[in-house]
Amino acid sequence: MNSVNFRRHSTAIAGALAIAAVLTSCDLWVPQSTKTNGETSDGVSGQVGSVYVANAVLIADDDQANLVASFVNEGEQDIHLQISHGQPQATSTVNLTVGGVVQIGAENTQTVIFDGFTAEPGSLYPVYFTYQGHTGLRLDVPVLTDQQPMYRDYAPGEVQN
Sign of CA dihedral 104, 105, 111, 112: positive
Which letter does DSSP use for residue 36 in this model? S
Across 15-89, the runs of DSSP E, i.e. the strands, are 44-48, 51-61, 64-73, 79-85
Residues 79, 73 contacting (CB under 8 angstroms): yes
Q: What percentage of the chain carries pLDDT values higher than 70?
A: 80
Which letter does DSSP use for residue 120 in this model? P
Q: Does the global pTM surpass 0.95?
A: no
**Tens digits of pLDDT across the chain (161 residues):** 566 666 777 787 877 777 766 666 666 556 665 555 555 578 999 999 999 999 999 999 889 999 999 999 999 999 999 999 876 678 899 999 999 999 999 988 999 999 989 999 999 999 999 999 888 999 999 999 988 888 889 988 887 65
**Per-domain residue ranges of the chain:** 3-34, 44-159
| CATH of range 44-159; options 2.130.10.30, 2.60.40.1890, 2.40.320.10, 1.10.1200.10 | 2.60.40.1890
Across the chain, the runs of DSSP E, i.e. the strands, are 44-48, 51-61, 64-73, 79-85, 90-96, 101-104, 113-115, 124-130, 137-145
* The pLDDT of residue 159: 77
Q: What is the spatial distance between Cα 32 and Cα 36, in angstroms, rounded to a whole number?
A: 8
Residues 83, 94 contacting (CB under 8 angstroms): yes
Q: What percentage of the chain carries pLDDT values higher than 90?
A: 52
Omega before 126 cis (within 30°)? no
Average predicted confidence (pLDDT) for the chain: 84
93 closest CA partner among 123, 75, 119, 67: 67
